[in-house]
Amino acid sequence: MKRKFTSDESVIQGILCSDERALAHLYHEYADMVNHLIITNSGTKDDADDIFQDTIIVIYEKIKSGTFVLNSSLKTFIYSVSRNLWLYKLRQKSRDSKLEDSFMVVAVEELDVDDFYEENTNQDKMVNYIKLLGESCKKILLLFYYEKLSTRDIAVKLQLAGSDYVKTQKYRCLQKLKSLYLKK
């Protein structure tokens, strides 16, 4: 059944429930706004696509971690995050870092997005070993470490025997991953 996201709260709830339609809604509502912001500020369409994706990731992770507090509209929040991410990228590229806010005048929250682009070679390498794991291991580790779900919730979501079973499986998956990583 088609779900309508009539308020910012319903979108947040949709993301908490891992409802992919909430992501589609965000794309439908805000991708053009972010495109415009980036392209009118010396970015390309590819830059705009990247920034939009990164913005959604920032919001997604904040919602999943339970640290997301909506003090303004979701639109304003998305605009602020995109703007900060783009300023960071511009600084990296040493371009003109003064943005023209001609599209929308908003009170921009100063979000700390610098650590979003923080690079860690070991962690980047680890991604390659994670890809070598079986599908069920990938799912359990993603749900636990990225989505921050409890082992009990993972058991319910993946229809597994219970919390203890998930704990054991997770432990085995980690051992497998460690052995792959340490064999490098």
**By three-state DSSP, how is residue 23 classified?**
helix
Residue whose CB is less far from another protein, 79 or 144: 144
Q: How far is the CB of 80 from another protein (least distance, A)?
A: 19
DSSP 75-137: HHHHHHHHHHHHHHHHHHHT--------S----------GGGG---HHHHHHHHHHTTS-HHH
Interface positions with another protein (CB under 8 A) = 20, 23-24, 27-28, 31-32, 35-36, 39-42, 44-45, 49, 52-53, 56-57, 60, 96, 98, 100, 102-103, 120, 122-127, 129-131, 138, 141-142, 144-148, 167-168, 171, 174, 177-178, 181
Please state the closest distance from residue 134 (CB atom) to another protein, in A: 14
Show the tokens assigned to 51.
């920034």
**Min CB(171)–another protein separation in Å:** 5
**Backbone torsions φ then ψ of 70, nearest 5 degrees:** -95, 100
